[in-house]
Amino acid sequence: MSGPSPQTDAPSSEASARPRGRRPFRWLARTVRLLVVLMLALAITVAIYALVRPVEAERVWIGIERHWRSTLASYGVTLPGTPDLASLDRRLAAQGVKVGDPIFLRIFKREFELELWMMRDGRFHRFATYPICKWSGELGPKLKTGDRQAPEGFYTVDAGALNPNSAWHRSFNLGFPNAFDRAHGRTGSFLMVHGGCGSIGCYAMTNPVIDEIWRLVTGALSGGQQRFQVQVFPFRMNERNLARHSGSPLAPFWTSLKPGYDLFETSGVPPKVSVCGKQYAFAPGPQGSDGSAPIEAGCPASPVPAAR
């Protein structure tokens, strides 16, 4: 007589049907969920910090942006936002301008942007916006030699400021200190817009970008423009940005720049800039003006009443 079948340690059919490797997948899913939660928490924390401490958050962002751009440049990567430099002639023709036409520049530190405008039909039109690879220091003007600050304010550049053999490929001197800077005892020299991606108080544009800017700058000065105006701002001068920095000791200085910014925004013509009582003074530029007037000490004349 046969006895009962011996019991074995074989897994049951239900256990055999269970998929193998489930535990690692569960662990991976839990890890992914945890990472998502951590990223959301980080994003919320950053957003709250930016709302509560906007100026400090902006300073951190500028540092990150500066490092990221320098890293890209070190590997020869074209910075995002760079125009198609190989198609300069086509881009000029598309906007109805040419090498030799007058130019005008604006620089915005926080946005890391340099705008180049060209004259057409008696006023300036924005031709290109170039990413700035690096500028040094904080938002705010240059005060003294060695502070590593890049200038802010209104400057003019003539042919004598150009250096085709610069250690930074090509460069032009902004003309710091101008009459305003001198009135406030500010010191420093050789504050440039140049190639490369290094800066001690300058605006570095990378070599390919400065080559295009150089062609347009030299063309304008050779074509009859005596000097061109450069307006340098800490940020785009809108009410939101000014309100964000209203508590800064520099707020009065930044607010004093806005009338010159607004005059150009409204007319497309560089304002007449002078220094009156240690403050910038602005008058509307005449229609068709290319901004060649130097920035000098002197108060603008009172406006002549319009004829009735």
**Helices vs strands, H then E, count in the chain:** 8, 13
Do the beta carbons of residue 114 and residue 134 sit within 8 Å?
no
- DSSP state, residue 161: G
How far is residue 298's CA from residue 5's CA, in Å, rounded to a whole number?
114
How far is residue 98's CA from residue 256's CA, in Å, rounded to a whole number?
34
Do the beta carbons of residue 215 and residue 88 sit within 8 Å?
yes
Among 133, 194, 197, 245, the one annotated catalytic: 194
| Pairing mode of beta strands 123-131, 113-120 | antiparallel
Among 133, 169, 197, 202, the one annotated catalytic: 202
| Pairing mode of beta strands 113-120, 103-108 | antiparallel
How far is residue 175's CA from residue 181's CA, in Å, rounded to a whole number?
10
- DSSP state, residue 273: E
Is 197 annotated in the active site?
A: no
How far is residue 254's CA from residue 153's CA, in Å, rounded to a whole number?
9
Do the beta carbons of residue 225 and residue 156 sit within 8 Å?
no
How far is residue 293's CA from residue 114's CA, in Å, rounded to a whole number?
21
Name the token pair of 232.
């340098």
C-alpha dihedral (71, 76, 82, 86), degrees to nearest 10? 180
How far is residue 291's CA from residue 228's CA, in Å, rounded to a whole number?
6
| Pairing mode of beta strands 203-204, 272-276 | unpaired
Helix/strand/coil for 203: strand
Is 125 annotated in the active site?
A: no
Name the token pair of 186.
């500010």
List residues with catalytic annotation. Answer: 194, 202
